Amino acid sequence: MDIKPLSAVQKYAAARPATEAKPGAGGPGEALGDVARDFAATLRESEATAKAAMTGEADPHALVQALAQTELAVETAVTVRNKVVEAYQEILRMPV
């Protein structure tokens, strides 16, 4: 099989744009920031609903729904944190 270097370079150049990051996509850091903002917003909304329920301005169904959303958000955050810690510990165990 005869492989010409110029042909390989041309094929690489043609395939390269598919592997580049898209403009406007911030990557994992921006996605993590969005998740953190969504988590904080969920907690704020649930806290506001709980305060409204204490003063009698919200119905019990809204309070239960807000508490369930908060519980799910906290469980998800704890699971992600545990996975990150687990991955960090795996990296520390790798031989250099």
Instruction: Answer yes or no: is pLDDT of 31 > 70.
Output: yes
* Measured CA distances, 51 to 55, 64, 74, 79 (Å): 6, 13, 19, 28
Question: Does residue 13 lie within any of the structural domains?
Answer: no
Calculate mean pLDDT across residues 54-75: 92
Identify which of 14, 80, 73, 13 has the alpha carbon closest to the alpha carbon of residue 47.
Answer: 73
| Any domain includes 16 | no
Can you give the pLDDT at residue 95? Answer: 87
For the chain, the domain total comes to 1
**Res. 33 pLDDT band, cuts 50 70 90:** confident
**Percent share of the chain, pLDDT over 70:** 74
Q: How many residues does the chain have?
A: 96
**Chain mean position to CA 93:** 25
pLDDT of residue 3: 59
Q: Which domain holds residue 62?
A: 28-93
